[in-house]
Amino acid sequence: MFNTHLESIGFKDDDLNVLDSLDFIMSKSQKEGLLNISTKLTRAFNMRSNQAEALARHIRNSPYPVIVCGDFNDTPVSYVYQTMRGPLKDAFKESGSGFGGTYNGRLPSFRIDYIFHAPEFNAYNFETFPIQYSDHNPISTVIDLQPAK
């Protein structure tokens, strides 16, 4: 079992306020704010890519079937998602429904938290819980550890 939290972007309220206030013609402070946001995005994307590659190596080298769950801070179309999933199954795709959004912060709802498992296992009853304890919605699934037949 691997449980992980990959690098966050680290947006602060000031960053989100810049995004909210952007116009076609930007002021100097908006341009500076946008540069700061771009720097944070680049740093976080690079850090997550490196973290995902390192964790994927450990997963590939495991002599046991694995379950990987955690906050990847990236969407299903990202390099990080593809790297982490590899040959594993995505429990949401296997037994979830709808959009499965897990992020509930100020930006739109994205699915950035995942449960992956070895292909020989099966997942059932994937759920996302809209609970406001965090800026992420909790997720759960039932994984049958008996090899799939």
| Residue in this structure with the two tokens 């989100």, named with its chain if needed | 16
Fold held by 2-144: Deoxyribonuclease I; Chain A (3.60.10)
Tell me the one-letter amino acid at 86.
G
Residue 55 above 60 pLDDT?
yes
Say if CB 139 and CB 126 are below 8 A apart: yes
Residue 12 above 90 pLDDT?
no
Q: What is the pLDDT of residue 96?
A: 95
Q: Which residue has the higher pLDDT, 72 or 16?
A: 72
How crowded is residue 140: how many other Cβ atoms within 10 Å of its Cβ? 12
Q: What is the pLDDT of residue 11?
A: 65
Residue 24 above 60 pLDDT?
no
Residue 34 above 80 pLDDT?
no
Q: What is the pLDDT of residue 14?
A: 73
Going by pLDDT thresholds of 50, 70 and 90, the confidence category of residue 122 is: very high
| Residue in this structure with the two tokens 């990202």, named with its chain if needed | 78
DSSP state of 78: S
Helix extents (H) in the chain: 13-21, 28-61, 79-85, 91-95
Domain segments of the chain: what residues?
Answer: 2-144
Please list the residues that pair with 90 across neighbouring strands: 116
Averaged pLDDT, 6-12: 72
* C-alpha span between 112 and 72 (Å, rounded): 6
